[in-house]
Structure 1
Amino acid sequence: MKKKSLSLLFAMLLAVGSLAACGPDRDSGGSTGGNSEGGGEAAEENKPEKLVVWEDEKKSGWLEDVAAAFEAEHGIEIEVKEVEMATKMRDQLRLDGPSGIGPDIVTLPHDQIGQVAIEGHIAELTVTDEVKNRFSESSILAQSYNGKLYGLPKSSETPVFIYNKALMPEAPATMDELYEFSKGFTKDGNYGFLALWDNYYFAHGIIGGSGGYVFAENDGALDRDDVGLANEGAVAGAEYIQKWYAEKLFPNGIIGENGGSALDGLFNEGKVAAVMNGPWAFQGYRDAGIDIGIAPLPTLPNGEAVTTFMGVKGWHVSNYSKNKEWAQKFVEFMTTDENSLARFQTTFEVPTNVALVEDPAIAEDEGSKAVAQQSQNAIPMPNIPEMSEVWGPMANALQTVVTGKAEPQAALESAVEQINQNIQANHSN
Structure 2
Amino acid sequence: MKKVFALFMMLVLALGVLAACAPERPTNEESEGNSEGSSNEGTEGEASSEKPEKLVIWEDKEKGVGLDPAIKSFEEEYGIKVEYKEMDMATEIRENLRLDGPAGSGPDVLTLPHDQIGQVVTEGLIAPLETSDEVINRYTESSILAETYDGTLYGLPKATETPIFIYNKDLMEEPPENFEDLYKFSQDFGGEKEYGFLALWDNYYFAHAVIGGFGGYVFENNDGALDPSKIGLNNEGAIKGAKYIEKWYDNVFPSGIVGESGGSTKGALFEEGKVASQQDGPWAFQGLTDKGINYGVAPMPKLPNGEYPTTFMGVKGWHVSSFSDNKEWATKLVEWIANEENAKIRFKETAEIPPVKSLIEDPIIAEDPKAKAVAVQSSRATPMPNIPEMAEVWGPMAQALQLVATDKAEPEEALNNAVETIKANIEANHSE
Shorter chain as denominator, the TM-score bin is 0.7 to 0.9
Distance across 2 between alignment mates of 1:112 and 1:403: 32
State the number of aligned residues. Answer: 394
Identify the residue that residue 416 of structure 1 maps to in structure 2: 419
Quote how far apart the aligned CAs of 1:169 are: 0.5
Quote how far apart the aligned CAs of 1:195 are: 0.8
Name the CA shift for 1:191/1:64 in 2 (closer, same or farther; >3 Å): same
Identify the residue that residue 187 of structure 1 maps to in structure 2: 191
State which of 88, 95, 112 in structure 2 corresponds to 1:108: 112
Q: Please state whether the residue corresponding to 1:98 is helix, strand or coil.
A: helix
Distance across 2 between alignment mates of 1:271 and 1:91: 42
Q: Please state whether the residue corresponding to 1:51 is helix, strand or coil.
A: strand
Query: Once structures 1 and 2 are overlaid, which stretch shifts more, 77-86 or 148-157?
Result: 77-86
1:262-282 per-position Cα deviation (integer Å, ceiling 9, x unaligned): 322322232211111122222
Matches within 5 A, 1:334-373: 334-373=337-376
Distance across 2 between alignment mates of 1:416 and 1:239: 17
The answer as to whether partners of 2:51 and 2:329 remain within 8 angstroms in 1 is: no
What is the aligned-residue identity percentage?
60
Quote how far apart the aligned CAs of 1:35 are: 9.3
Q: Which has the larger radius of gyration?
A: 2
- Residues 1:47 and 2:52 are matched in the alignment: yes
State which of 266, 279, 295 in structure 2 corresponds to 1:263: 266
Identify the residue that residue 305 of structure 1 maps to in structure 2: 308
The answer as to whether partners of 2:209 and 2:311 remain within 8 angstroms in 1 is: yes
TM-score (norm 1): 0.85
What is the root-mean-square deviation of aligned Cα atoms in Å? 2.4
Identify the residue that residue 216 of structure 1 maps to in structure 2: 220
Name the CA shift for 1:38/1:281 in 2 (closer, same or farther; >3 Å): farther
1:251-301 per-position Cα deviation (integer Å, ceiling 9, x unaligned): 333323333233223222322111111222222212221122111211112
Distance across 2 between alignment mates of 1:35 and 1:173: 51
Q: Please state whether the residue corresponding to 2:424 is helix, strand or coil.
A: helix
Q: Please state whether the residue corresponding to 2:389 is helix, strand or coil.
A: helix
Name the CA shift for 1:73/1:157 in 2 (closer, same or farther; >3 Å): same
Q: Please state whether the residue corresponding to 1:383 is helix, strand or coil.
A: coil
The answer as to whether partners of 1:97 and 1:103 remain within 8 angstroms in 2 is: yes
Name the CA shift for 1:36/1:160 in 2 (closer, same or farther; >3 Å): farther
Distance across 2 between alignment mates of 1:281 and 1:376: 20
The answer as to whether partners of 2:360 and 2:375 remain within 8 angstroms in 1 is: no
Identify the residue that residue 163 of structure 1 maps to in structure 2: 167
Quote how far apart the aligned CAs of 1:416 are: 0.2
- Unaligned residue ranges in structure 1 (runs of 5+): 1-33
Identify the residue that residue 388 of structure 2 maps to in structure 1: 385
Name the CA shift for 1:101/1:127 in 2 (closer, same or farther; >3 Å): same
Quote how far apart the aligned CAs of 1:221 are: 3.5
1:356-377 per-position Cα deviation (integer Å, ceiling 9, x unaligned): 2442111211122222322343
Quote how far apart the aligned CAs of 1:186 are: 5.2
Matches within 5 A, 1:129-278: 129-185=133-189, 187-218=191-222, 221-247=225-251, 249-278=252-281
Identify the residue that residue 291 of structure 1 maps to in structure 2: 294
Q: Please state whether the residue corresponding to 1:226 is helix, strand or coil.
A: strand
1:50-73 per-position Cα deviation (integer Å, ceiling 9, x unaligned): 332222222221212222333334
Q: Please state whether the residue corresponding to 2:128 is helix, strand or coil.
A: coil
Quote how far apart the aligned CAs of 1:337 are: 1.3
Quote how far apart the aligned CAs of 1:220 are: 5.2
The answer as to whether partners of 1:35 and 1:127 remain within 8 angstroms in 2 is: no
Identify the residue that residue 8 of structure 1 maps to in structure 2: none
The answer as to whether partners of 2:148 and 2:224 remain within 8 angstroms in 1 is: no
Name the CA shift for 1:300/1:37 in 2 (closer, same or farther; >3 Å): same
Name the CA shift for 1:393/1:36 in 2 (closer, same or farther; >3 Å): farther
Name the CA shift for 1:217/1:325 in 2 (closer, same or farther; >3 Å): closer
Distance across 2 between alignment mates of 1:97 and 1:196: 39
Letter in 2 for 1:397: A
The answer as to whether partners of 1:38 and 1:332 remain within 8 angstroms in 2 is: no
Letter in 2 for 1:289: G
Distance across 1 between alignment mates of 2:49 and 2:121: 29
Name the CA shift for 1:229/1:137 in 2 (closer, same or farther; >3 Å): closer
Distance across 1 between alignment mates of 2:243 and 2:345: 44
Letter in 2 for 1:270: G
